[in-house]
Structure 1
């Protein structure tokens, strides 16, 4: 049980960077970016090919991040300059990245067994907490700068921010680049942790990222940028813990992971609505009780 819990925390930290990337597009930009499924694999592919060729794992990981930045920028250019719907832009880039990733890898799977990676001598549980905290704090600082505020304002109201002279096309491209860079970074780290990069590793990543964001916000709230990004990181860990416990149920198998993810997302989306409904009903009952007591007192006073 303890090993399963530690493994879930480790996976949650590795996927937390991907969840932060999804948070940028899903919550800040309000952009339905499906590039994630492709850029995640791109990060793993670049890191695996470079490391297996003898490149330093740190340089390979940085290159994977830059590969994701480029993929996100292309999605942004397709949307802003090509005037193509945001959802369709992400789908087109995701499809293109499948072939690009195959070109990068040269085959469907690249192994990293027998070569040095970031986690060869140190466990991810030692490195990842520091890496996630540093990247989270840097993201918080960026979102408080003028450029970061312009990015947040673009997601809230593009027409308003344009009236102040801001170039929303530039902020959208920047947001998508940063988001997919973090997603690719997560893919590179997971490829090194698992010992291989696979062409299908990015399938369903957008759903996992959304699950982490939604669960984190539902449990921990999102009052400020600091708490919102912290909630996303914690949501990624909670999601992995829930999945780990779910897979311990005897009649569930590893192949049921996608169904488990879908159910978790549905529950996370429905629970806040149920909570609000209960709160409204309880307030209505309280008001009704107060009105009844007040009416009773008035009628009793009138009798005297």
Structure 2
């Protein structure tokens, strides 16, 4: 189960990227299925070629940002529908990723990666490993929280809420859209680079269906923990990524076929979307209500 929590914390970086586009920018970006693999492919290829794992990981994130920029340019300058722009970039990235890797799978088990010190110290799969990955996720979360409260971050939020209004105030919404897509896909690619090093390989198909995992993390997390503020929302996204991985872990533990993982993900998202509308979750007191009740009783 500790491995599931570790993976959930690693995938939280990707979920935060999905949160930026789907929740903040209100943009249906499907580029992530390709940019995740791009980050893994670039990092794996550079590590095999002898580049430092740190620089290789950063290069993977930069490649993801470039992919996001392409989607942004297709949408803003090419006037292509946002959903279609993401699909086009995702499809193109499949061939590009194969070009980068040279073959469909790149093993990293014999290479020094960012996970090698943790693996040699027997920290992976332990509480120490969980704390390290949690620290990384929280650091990225706090950086996103800070950025979204800057003038530029507020402009991005306004672009997602009411593009016409914020444009009337002189904000270049094309720029905010492209920048958000770059940041989002950089986070997704960074996650791909880290996951590839954690699992010991990069595969050309490792990003297929990833958008569903990201949406599941965002929707489930915010359905359970709420989204009253950005601070709470980003915490909910991280916890949602962990919950998703734990659900998959327990589903496989009871004997479900690993081939059913995408089906489980779809059912989880549907449940998170429908249960609040049916009033089921409304009857469950929120964490804020529980704290208020406890404070009243204590006084």
Fold in common (TM above 0.5): yes
Q: Residues 276 and 282 of structure 2 are in contact (CA less than 8 Å); yes or no, is this contact kept in structure 1? A: no
Q: 2:214 aligns with which of 205, 209, 213?
A: 209
Q: Which runs of 5+ in 2 are unaligned?
A: 119-123, 284-299
Shift of 1:128: 1.4
Q: For residue 88 of structure 2, what is the aligned residue in structure 1? A: 92
Instruction: Select 1:275's aligned residue among 253, 274, 279.
Output: 279
- Out of 35, 41, 56, the residue aligned to residue 39 of structure 1 is 35
Q: Tell me, which stretches of 5 or more residues in structure 1 are unaligned?
A: 280-304
Distance change (3 Å), C-alpha of 1:262 and 1:223: same
Deviations 1:255-301 (A, max 9, x none): 1111111111111111110127977xxxxxxxxxxxxxxxxxxxxxx
Quote the residue 2:51 is aligned against: 55
Structure 1 vs Structure 2 CA RMSD? 1.2
In 2, the alpha carbon distance for the partners of 1:126 and 1:14 equals: 11
Q: SS at 1:197's partner residue?
A: strand
Per the alignment, residue 260 of structure 1 pairs with: 264
Name 1:283's counterpart in structure 2.
none
Deviation at 1:125, TM superposition (A): 2.7
Partners in 2 of 1:148 and 1:254 — Cα distance? 40
* Partner secondary structure for residue 207 of structure 2: coil
Task: Tell me if structure 1 keeps the 8 A contact 2:29–2:82.
Answer: yes
Equivalent residues in 2 for 1:173-188 (5 A)? 173-188=178-193
Runs (4 or more) in structure 1 with deviation over 2 Å come to 123-127, 276-279
Q: Which residue of 2 aligns with 1:110?
A: 106
Of 137, 140, 161, the residue aligned with 2:142 is 137
Shift of residue 126, structure 1, vs aligned partner: 4.7
**Partners of 1:245 and 1:181 in 2: how far apart?**
31
Deviations 1:54-96 (A, max 9, x none): 1111111111110111100110000000000000000000011
* Deviation of 1:127 (Å): 3.0
1:80 maps to which of 57, 76, 81: 76
> 2: distance between equivalents of 1:277 and 1:125?
29
Q: Could you say which residue in structure 2 is the equivalent of 1:166?
A: 171
Q: TM-score, normalised by structure 1?
A: 0.88
Taking the aligned partners of 2:52 and 2:131, their CA distance within structure 1 comes to 19
CA distance in 1, matches of 2:130, 2:224: 23
Number of equivalenced pairs:
274
TM-score, with normalisation over the residues of structure 2?
A: 0.90
C-alpha change, 1:260 and 1:138, in structure 2 (3 Å) is: same
Distance 1:93 1:15 in 2: 21
C-alpha distance in 1 between matches for 2:105 and 2:67: 21
